[in-house]
Structure 1
Amino acid sequence: MLGRTAASLFWTSRYNERAENMARLLEVGYRIAMTPRLGQDTADDWRSTLTSAGCDTAFFDKYDELTKRAVVSHMLFDADNPSSVRSCIEAARNNARSVRTAITGEMWESLNTTYIEFMEVRPQHMTDDKLPGFLSWIKQRSMLFRGAMLGTLMRDEGYHFSQFGCFIERADNTARILDVKYWILLPDNEVVGGDLDRYQWSTILRSVSAHRSYRHAYRDAQVRPFNVAEFLILRKEMPRSLAYCYDWINESLSELTLRYGERPMSCDMAQGTHDLLEAGTMHQIFVSGLHEFLSDMIARNNALGAQLAADYHFA
């Protein structure tokens, strides 16, 4: 497979996943900002949301004041923000259009329809009552593309490069949600384990569609920070956990190794991260520092993406 084709398939899936993740980050920021907290400014919640999304520098270069309306506009509609939902949907569509013969009609139709319908939305009409429904629509459209890919694409090289894009982006998002939100989720003026604390951790679970499955996995009426972190890092049953993402990344790289008859450096890097997650325990992670662990995971994930591009000659 040509490097530019592999790159387009990788980035089509990655941008599609990023659009969904931006919607999820915005949803959790919106929910937490709506929670009244004595002595805390909701601007801190929106600043944290921007930092989670990696959009804070670009935002403050463009906006003088940190407001909910400005954050929503920047993360959803701003064409100058390369990580906005608008930019991601457009980039996914452009990458898919360049490799129309390598994807199925269902995959293309899902992306193209999403692009057309998104462009009809006027930012000035995005009121508070419309925002939650619109964010849900973005997530559903992203999942429609992924469902089309899983249900129609041949299990060849293109399938594996699409998987890389999805799961590298998803792992990055999960780590960022846990890392950047952690200081908000344990506020100084609230007792750890109190009603507000539990509500905020529940919000994080809902942002990754994990609230109901968490209850099933732990059979516990309480939402506990230790368990939430374990669920989103080490539990392979959870499809947005780091362990689940690296199971898929490792499996796809193993398949490509068999297909091409050579083992690139990216394969060893993915195996190393997979083994780290396989052998790790939450007790070890908390003792060494959750922030330090997540920062290392984000760095590993970024390095793997760069190494994949080098190994498979992404144009």
Structure 2
Amino acid sequence: MLGKTANGLFWMFRYLERAQNTARLIDAGLRMALTRDIDTAEDEWRSVIATSGQKSGYEAHHGTYTGIQVWNFILRDKDNPANVREMFKTVRTNARLVRTAISDEVWEAINTSWMSLDKMLSRSVSQGHVGEVIRTIRRAGTLAHGAMTGSMLRDEGYHFARAGTFLERADSTARILDMKYYLLLPSLSYVGTSLDSGQWDQILRSVAGDRVYTWLNSGDLDARGIVEFLVLDQRFPRSLAFCHGELRDQLAALARIHGKEGNCNAIIREADMQISELTVDEIFENGLHEFLNQFTRRNAAIGQAIADDYRFYA
């Protein structure tokens, strides 16, 4: 497979995952803001912008944090090159570039979803329509992944697509969790209060983990339990341990196809071994922020190693 084809598949599914994660983040912020007064609701939207990494861009064009300003900036604003409309446009562009490496079903799922989203996001999104937009973005990812699972050969194209998915998903979960201690919680004095519980619930909703966590833990929103769930629980498909386990398997499959391992295999094997030996107590003792910073740096190193090993830019 040509490096540019591998690159297209890898980034097609990275951007698809990123768009879905962003939609979930907006949905969680919307739910939280609806339960707050005006001032506190602005804090919720401020945290959504910060978590998405778009604070400087947003504040260059807006002086307040109202819901409609925030979700339109993230979803469609032309002043924001990282908006969801542009993300999904990139997904569709990459799908066209790798058209011969994906099935008709995957192409149809991506192309149809793009046409729907392009129409929805061609105009300002009102409060009455933001829920529909969020559902459409999430459904687009579900359709594409379902089509891929049901119709694509388990060849190198499939493994590059899955590697992009889990690399992006791991990065998103780590960044959302890191925001808890630095942006979502206004003061250490709030720890253990209802606000603290509400913010933890927002994090769980942002990674589609609120229902399963509640079921596993009888509704007890405990910081230690949530960190253990999102970092170490290998049953949850958005935990850091699960994502890196899947990423390791996809890279191992690529190494078998190509007949040799690359630097990316060595890095993911070391990362996977380290996280498998951790306990939640050790994470808190050494610092959650420090652990997550190290994780995101290593995750980025894996992504770069994949690009280098498989000559994405050749």
Tell me if TM exceeds 0.5: yes
- Name the stretch that deviates more: 125-134 or 189-198: 189-198
Q: Distance in 2 between matches of 1:5 and 1:176?
A: 29
Q: Give the superposition deviation at 1:175.
A: 0.6
- Name the stretch that deviates more: 191-200 or 262-271: 191-200
Q: Give the superposition deviation at 1:122.
A: 4.9
Number of the residue aligned with 1:128: 127
Contact 1:45–1:184 (8 Å) recurs in 2: no
**Partner amino acid, structure 2, of 1:45:** E
Number of the residue aligned with 1:99: 98
Number of residue-to-residue matches in the alignment: 313
Asked if 1:256 corresponds to 2:217, the answer is no
Number of the residue aligned with 2:86: 87
- Name the stretch that deviates more: 15-24 or 42-51: 42-51
- Name the stretch that deviates more: 156-165 or 180-189: 180-189
**Partner amino acid, structure 2, of 1:298:** T
Q: Distance in 2 between matches of 1:120 and 1:257?
A: 41
- Aligned counterpart for 1:235 among listed residues 227, 233, 240: 233
Contact 2:29–2:202 (8 Å) recurs in 1: no
Q: Distance in 1 between matches of 2:92 and 2:122?
A: 21
Q: Distance in 1 between matches of 2:154 and 2:81?
A: 30
Number of the residue aligned with 1:298: 296
Contact 2:21–2:206 (8 Å) recurs in 1: no
Number of the residue aligned with 2:136: 137
Q: Give the superposition deviation at 1:158.
A: 0.3
- Gaps in structure 1 of 5+ consecutive residues: none
Number of the residue aligned with 2:10: 10
- Name the stretch that deviates more: 44-53 or 295-304: 44-53
Q: Distance in 1 between matches of 2:157 and 2:227?
A: 33
Query: Matches of residues 1-315 of structure 1 in structure 2 within 5 Å?
Result: 1-36=1-36, 41-122=40-121, 124-188=123-187, 191-218=190-217, 220-315=218-313
TM-score where L is the length of structure 1: 0.92
- Gaps in structure 2 of 5+ consecutive residues: none
Q: Distance in 2 between matches of 1:240 and 1:251?
A: 16
Change in 2 beyond 3 A, CA 1:275/1:109: same
Deviations 1:5-58 (A, max 9, x none): 0000001111111110111121222233334279x6443332322222122232
Contact 1:190–1:197 (8 Å) recurs in 2: no
Q: Distance in 2 between matches of 1:201 and 1:37?
A: 19
Change in 2 beyond 3 A, CA 1:299/1:114: same
Deviations 1:233-253 (A, max 9, x none): 110100011111101110111
Q: Give the superposition deviation at 1:191.
A: 4.8
Deviations 1:108-159 (A, max 9, x none): 0111111111111156552223223321221111111111111111101001
Q: Give the superposition deviation at 1:64.
A: 4.4
Q: Distance in 1 between matches of 2:240 and 2:162?
A: 14
Q: Give the superposition deviation at 1:208.
A: 1.7
Find the residue that maps to 1:313 and give its secondary structure.
Answer: coil
TM-score where L is the length of structure 2: 0.93
